[in-house]
Structure 1
Amino acid sequence: MPETAKAAPRRTGPANLKAMAAQEIRRRVFSGQLRAGAKIDQEALADELGISKLPIREALITLDHEGVVEHIARRGAFVAQLTRDDIRDHYRVFGLVSGLAAERAAKNLSPASLQALEDLADRMEQEPDRAELERLNFEFHRRINHASGSRRLVSILAILVKTVSHGFYEAHPDWPDKAADDHRRILRALSSRSGARARTLVEKHFADGSERAVALLERQGFWAN
């Protein structure tokens, strides 16, 4: 089912407001709520989020640079005509860098850090709330990324994570079970210090997510004429 609109909480600071608005627009695009070619009503969105139009405009400029939004002179901002491969690339690039981080992490993770990842995986398998699952999933991957010991990779991933839509667990009802299986396989590879295996599994994890994202948009008629 399509995600329903969610009013985001008020935040202080122009940078936070811009980031909040950009993330909400991404969520609506990648959940199929906003379809290709749809005009983005800046005034209505500002009212829904309880903010001024300035951070909305700034967010749309950011999204234009990402290729998610297209500005048309004297007409406004529209959802870009994204292709299926655009969606796949969106997730797979993130997966490639995350996979490299996992390969490095396999050599660096301490027994205590591995146990912390196991504990997170346990909590995710028992957590019914999709929003909390999203948070735990972020923490699971964040710990692996930081264990890479590469400031450059962590820096790149910090940029990439801003361009990946949140709400994946809510938009894809079958994803929690699939993700749980993937996480256990990744953990086994990390525990056995198999960097190449961990890298392959993480890349596939994100690639599989990209196919689910494409399938969801297909069901929502994202590419319908």
Structure 2
Amino acid sequence: MPDSTGAGPRRGGPANLKALAAHEIRRRVFSGQLRAGEKIDQEALADELGISKLPIREALITLDHEGVVEHIARRGAFVARMTRDDIRDHYRVFGLVSGLAAERAAKNLSPESLQALHDLADRMESGADRAEQERLNFEFHRRINYAADSRRLVSILGILAKTVSHGFYEAHEDWPGKAHEDHRKILNALSARSAARARSVVEKHFSDGGERAVALLERQGFWDS
């Protein structure tokens, strides 16, 4: 999935510290380490990350807007109770926007850019380790998204990408094979300049990813009481 490089944000200024905190809280939620309804200990998290509580509080505001965290007056921040359909819906929306980008890219990609995508697909299938496949996957979809030549679409996709579960290549034994097959279908549609087919294949790629995300979270005990 084109959700992340797998690497967290770098330390640095306030914005990076806020991003670091948000990334870590998301990771803990979607790994099952933090469960639905559990209170987030801001002081302990700040100590663990070696940062002040201010970027933690700012990160929690962002995560509240994303629906990952819920603030309760005079009680604090708690992990929101997301349903399986919440996860599926997020991936479906991600797929709809990514599909629109692919539709535009089918018309815009130069022969050189198409070849670069084929090269990335080849490298993903050449025996690279799972972390490297995740990185190459991110780059594959990033190039398609930017080929849409729409700053608005890229901005929306950047927001959506931050809020999905990560580690598909490491957590799902069958995902690399499925992703490779899907990438070839996407490349075939782009090479044929078939905008409608590119959009359809990308939308299904993300929809299938949503089902796998639900399965992954099930195994990690995300919905266990």
Task: Name the TM-score, length of structure 1 as normaliser.
Answer: 0.90
Counterpart residue number, 1:108: 108
Structure 1 residue 74: Cα displacement: 2.6
Structure 1 residue 8: Cα displacement: 5.7
How many residues in Structure 1 have an aligned counterpart in Structure 2? 220
SS in 2 for 1:23: helix
After superposition, give the CA deviation of every residue in 1:104-130 in whole Å (9 maximum; x if it has no partner): 101111111011001111111225433
Write the mapping of 1:12-161 to structure 2, written as runs, cut at 5 A.
Answer: 12-161=12-161
Structure 1 residue 70: Cα displacement: 0.7
When residues 9 and 156 of structure 1 are mapped into structure 2, their CA distance, relative to the original with a 3 A threshold, is: closer
Kept in 2: contact 1:124–1:133 (CA 8 A): yes
When residues 58 and 171 of structure 1 are mapped into structure 2, their CA distance, relative to the original with a 3 A threshold, is: farther
SS in 2 for 1:36: coil
Kept in 2: contact 1:10–1:49 (CA 8 A): no
* Worse-matched range after superposition: 133-142 or 96-105: 133-142
Structure 1 residue 88: Cα displacement: 0.7
When residues 67 and 125 of structure 1 are mapped into structure 2, their CA distance, relative to the original with a 3 A threshold, is: same
2:217 paired with 1:220: no
SS in 2 for 1:126: coil
Counterpart residue number, 1:163: 163
After superposition, give the CA deviation of every residue in 1:51-107 in whole Å (9 maximum; x if it has no partner): 222111111110001111011223221110101111111211111100000011011
Counterpart residue number, 1:208: 208
Query: How many angstroms apart in 2 are the aligned matches of 1:46 and 1:126?
Result: 41
Structure 2, unmatched stretches of 5+, are 1-5
Task: Name the TM-score, length of structure 2 as normaliser.
Answer: 0.90
Counterpart residue number, 2:3: none
Kept in 2: contact 1:105–1:190 (CA 8 A): yes
Structure 1 residue 9: Cα displacement: 7.4
* Worse-matched range after superposition: 166-175 or 61-70: 166-175
Query: How many angstroms apart in 2 are the aligned matches of 1:70 and 1:215?
Result: 24
When residues 133 and 149 of structure 1 are mapped into structure 2, their CA distance, relative to the original with a 3 A threshold, is: same
After superposition, give the CA deviation of every residue in 1:7-54 in whole Å (9 maximum; x if it has no partner): 967611010111121122222222333221122222232233222221
When residues 169 and 42 of structure 1 are mapped into structure 2, their CA distance, relative to the original with a 3 A threshold, is: farther
Q: Which amino acid aligns with 1:180?
A: H
Structure 1, unmatched stretches of 5+, are 1-5
Q: Which amino acid aligns with 1:96?
A: L
Give me the CA root mean square deviation.
Answer: 2.0
Structure 1 residue 202: Cα displacement: 0.6
**Percent identity for Structure 1 against Structure 2:** 85
